[in-house]
Chain A
Amino acid sequence: MNPKSWTEEIAEKLAEESGLPELNELQWETVRFLRTYYLANGKAPLNRDIRRETGMNLLEVERLFPGGIRHGARRLAGLPNPKSC
């Protein structure tokens, strides 16, 4: 997905697909942080950035999303993974 075409509705749809009927405030907070970070820095944050910003420990963040941070939260936030050619 092009990160520019991301909307909150898309995040909700993706969440539903991954087994989350709706996102709670902590989950939204994390998704919004990921997007804000990506749009400001041109890359996804490392776990230490997420921990610093959300105040949660990694395990807590990982547990928030099916697939954890890399395959769950990042996907909901519409962040592209760098890909090989």
Chain B
Amino acid sequence: MKEVKFTLNGVPQSCTREDNVVLLDFLRKDKGLTGAKQSCDRKGQCGACTVIVNKKAVRSCLTKLSSLEGAEVITIEGLGTPDNPHLIQEAFALSGAIQCGFCTPGMIMSAKALLDRNPRPDTDEIKKALARNLCRCTGYKKIVDAVKLAGKFLRGEAVPRDFMPDERAGTIGVSLPRPNALALATGTGLFTADVKHEGTLHLAAVRSPHAHALIKSIDTSQAEKLPGVVSVMTAKDIKGTNRVRPDQPVLCEDKVHVLGDAVAAVVAETEEQAREGVLAVKVEYEPLPVVRTPEEAVDPSCVRVHDTIPNLCYTHPQIKGDAQKALADSHMVVEEEFSTQLIHQSPLEPEAALAYFEEDPENEEEPQLVVIGRSIYIHYHLKVLQDALGWENMRYQQVFIGGQFGIKMDITAEALAAAAALHVKRPVRYVCSLTESMWITTKRHPFTMKVRLGADRDGKLTGYSMDFTVENGAYVSAGQSIVNRALYMLSGSYNLPHVEALGKLVYTNNAWGGAARGAGPPQVNFALESAMELLAAKLGMDPLDFRLMSSVQPGQSISTGQVVDEWPYPHCLETIREHYERARKECAASRNGRLRRGVGLAGGSFGIGRGGPDRSHVAVELMPDGGLTVYGSVADPGEGNDAMLTQISSHLTGIPLKEIRLVTRDTDRTPDSSSASGSRVTYMSGGALVNAIEVLKKAMDEVGAKSYADLVAAGKPTKYLGTREAETTFLDPKTGQGAPFESRVHGVQMAEVEVDTETGEVRLLKMTAVVDAGTLINPTIVEGQIEGGLDMGAGMALRERYVHGETKDWVGSRFPTIRTAFDMEIILLQTPRRRGTLGAVGVGEFVLLPTAAAIITAIQNATSGDRICHLPATPEKVLKSMHKGGSPS
């Protein structure tokens, strides 16, 4: 321990700390500077904590405070503020480089260190400088663009206002910076772990080391005696149902179902004391046989994961016409089995929650419990918490969300923190490690799919059958919905007159699946697009032309029997044709050497909404100053929903953007806009906003009001609720027929790869994506969604695989880095949708549908080997695919 003197953002510091204290903890805990984030358990893997020390970008989680004698330290807070931002911060905001914003402060600090020493970096130099900074949202393209733009600003070649859209351009179809961008760029946007509350206790969970075991006893006595430990909770201390899902306890009562299940929670004065308390809790387990695979699980002799529910816990058929007969009568049939892997959605922000009481003037007996967290469905999760914990007077308060990709359709840390706050009647904070976050969150479900696809002599599709098994893992979460959603979009973009499918959901003792960007359709679309490619080859047809002639046309039906009245997919295919022809020529020139290039196409069509009945509420209030406040639980985990709400509001009311205010994060202050899932927010909540403004305008017209004062003088309310209700149905449980969506987003993607035929390594050179999401409200944001989705899809195709208990950090999960980033070209088409919000639908999840199939086709095109049917396409599988007769799995 020694005294260290240094400057922090120009202010002299003098402090004495233990030798192992790192700069990140000093900044966040001692100084309250939370712009530097913690994601990777202080392993130096994510760069979210990057600051500048003596002009170099360093990871503050690895930098010992004791090493800083005489150093000059600059953090994101030392660069600028939302009102007076640094030029680099403005460049990030203007380039659309900020989605969830969790990585942004670290990115900006790395960029600053680079630009200070090299004012004109090229792409490779930027990639090298940012190589230690991870981003899950953007696919890195706009981050590279932002650094280049910042260079221009810093060199005096341009100023930020040159890149602001002209006000005369209006607010629809205009790439305005997101309203929240500068808060995130300056590190002032608070994420859950950044929120401080006085007198807060800390929670650590006792988690099962077994995948399947009976809990024989829990002895908390030693832990309770430890210094600082306030309480040790077990399931009996929870007063409600103790369930966050019907089959998933907050704290396990008598059995654990998966490695990492929580069995007790220690609440203590400090994090360290809570963790020490965890080590002192003695749990006696009786291990049970572990159900490891779906095949094992459905064997009649297999032990049940949940005693009262069969392991085969859900099935859903789909029958349209007579697929078996159609396939039997077909000229050509391809038959293949495909599989996709378990993947962690990998939001950069670890799980966290804070719960505390606020006095309720209306209820002296029952104060209000405030739960702060990162849910994307706050009204539903409020209800879940109320039921699980047996406390009604509760409010869910969302803060900034560090990425989600479906994972935040489930709550995790919130339930334990809230349960503990209720138990000890004090504020409780629970911030999980990255490893723990991986243990307690949902994953992308692995699918195995047996497929048959047939065509007649003219290449016309005849029939399609698919049996798919979804490994559920230990809890259902959204599992049933995943099966349903796979059926909603089973026939992809194509006219398949006869379809037969059966989806099965099977419990195992593995990590459990949940909502994951696309949630089912990316898996089944991989199989369908692969089968389309195999069938085109068998028929000797051009893959693009085959897709074009197979497309659904308005008036035809999809696999659910729903007849569609708009289907702009063919236009997407025609648009990519010239790019495809260019790429084919280029690839043909490199077919003989060690490094061979290949090109692949795949398409997709994605239904917008929750699937089946869907409703959203948004309210607007005309304010005394002439501004407009928009109320709705419209989560924005990075998609830019803040821009969507403000741009639509301004467009429809003429009120300037800066006078549109959003209230979106608090269950007390918002109507229920449902979830930020299913790519539904623009369509459903944007639609509810349009309706609310219409109702407001009607009320004003009725009394001839032109202003707030006129409305008030006429005795009219100033706040109006809008509703958007989808005219959709669930599927018939026996036939799988129904009308789950009103509208869809369509697109086609082209992958260009280079395969090292000696090592099997695949380098993704470029993805070209044509997407028609209807009217564009903010083109840069739409582009950003597509770019990030392409990067995630490439991870699914080539690298990512989560192994529960083994995958513990970002290196292990093979998180995509800027080093694996590839060239992208995004082509946006705009066919306004009849029922869209000003013609717009959504885009965020669709992107993942075609990517894996396009990349796998490109690999096969490069190697002329067998098709890889089982993801991910690791170098070993690529090499195997090149040996004739070898199994490419």
For A81, list chain B residues within 8 Å (CB): 383
Query: Which listed residue (B380, B667, B725) contacts A83, Cβ 8 A?
Result: B380
Closest partner residue, chain A, to B675 (CB atom): A85
Give a binary string over A21-51; 1 marks a CB under 8 Å from any B CB, 0 the rest. Answer: 0000000000000000001111100111001
Q: Are B380 and A84 in contact (CB under 8 A)?
A: yes
A41, B725: Cα distance in complex, Å: 16
| Contact A46-B380, Cβ < 8 Å, known A2-B725, A85-B515 | no
Q: How many residues of B contact A (CB 8 A)?
A: 34
Min C-beta distance of B406 to chain A, whole Å? 9
For A52, list chain B residues within 8 Å (CB): 362
Give a binary string over B843-871; 1 marks a CB under 8 Å from any A CB, 0 the rest. Answer: 00000000000000000000000000000
Min C-beta distance of A43 to chain B, whole Å? 4
Q: Are A40 and B393 in contact (CB under 8 A)?
A: no
Q: Are B671 and A82 in contact (CB under 8 A)?
A: no
Q: Are B393 and A47 in contact (CB under 8 A)?
A: yes
For B667, list chain A residues within 8 Å (CB): 43
Give a binary string over B655-672; 1 marks a CB under 8 Å from any A CB, 0 the rest. Answer: 000000000000100111
Interface status of A80 (Cβ within 8 A of chain B): yes
Interface residues of A in 41-85 (CB under 8 A from B): 41-43, 46-48, 51-52, 80-85
A66, B468: Cα distance in complex, Å: 43
In this complex, which of B362, B611, B672, B678 has the most chain A Cβ atoms within 10 angstroms of its Cβ?
B672
Query: Which listed residue (B393, B478, B617) contacts A42, Cβ 8 A?
Result: B617
Q: Are B519 and A46 in contact (CB under 8 A)?
A: no
A83, B360: Cα distance in complex, Å: 27
A80, B615: Cα distance in complex, Å: 10
A52, B377: Cα distance in complex, Å: 27
Give a binary string over B225-247; 1 marks a CB under 8 Å from any A CB, 0 the rest. Answer: 00000000000000000000100
Q: Are A46 and B392 in contact (CB under 8 A)?
A: yes
Query: Which listed residue (A2, A4, A47, A80) contacts B392, Cβ 8 A?
Result: A47
Min C-beta distance of B521 to chain A, whole Å? 13
For A43, list chain B residues within 8 Å (CB): 379, 617, 667, 670-672
Closest partner residue, chain A, to B244 (CB atom): A84
For A80, list chain B residues within 8 Å (CB): 615
Closest partner residue, chain B, to A84 (CB atom): B380
A28, B673: Cα distance in complex, Å: 27
Min C-beta distance of B611 to chain A, whole Å? 7
Q: Are A85 and B678 in contact (CB under 8 A)?
A: yes
Interface status of B778 (Cβ within 8 A of chain A): no
Interface status of B610 (Cβ within 8 A of chain A): yes
Interface residues of A in 7-32 (CB under 8 A from B): none
Give a binary string over B618-655; 1 marks a CB under 8 Å from any A CB, 0 the rest. Answer: 11000000000000000000000000000000000000
A52, B380: Cα distance in complex, Å: 23
Query: Which listed residue (A2, A41, A48, A85) contacts B610, Cβ 8 A?
Result: A85
Q: Are A48 and B362 in contact (CB under 8 A)?
A: yes
A85, B481: Cα distance in complex, Å: 6
For B670, list chain A residues within 8 Å (CB): 43
The 5 closest A-B pairs by CB, nearest first: A42-B671, A42-B617, A82-B380, A43-B672, A85-B481
- Measured CB to CB, the residues of A under 8 A from B are 2, 4, 39-43, 46-48, 51-52, 80-85
Given contacts A4-B725, A42-B671, A48-B360, 12 further A-B contacts (CB under 8 A): A2-B725, A41-B619, A42-B617, A42-B618, A42-B619, A43-B671, A43-B672, A46-B393, A82-B377, A85-B481, A85-B610, A85-B677
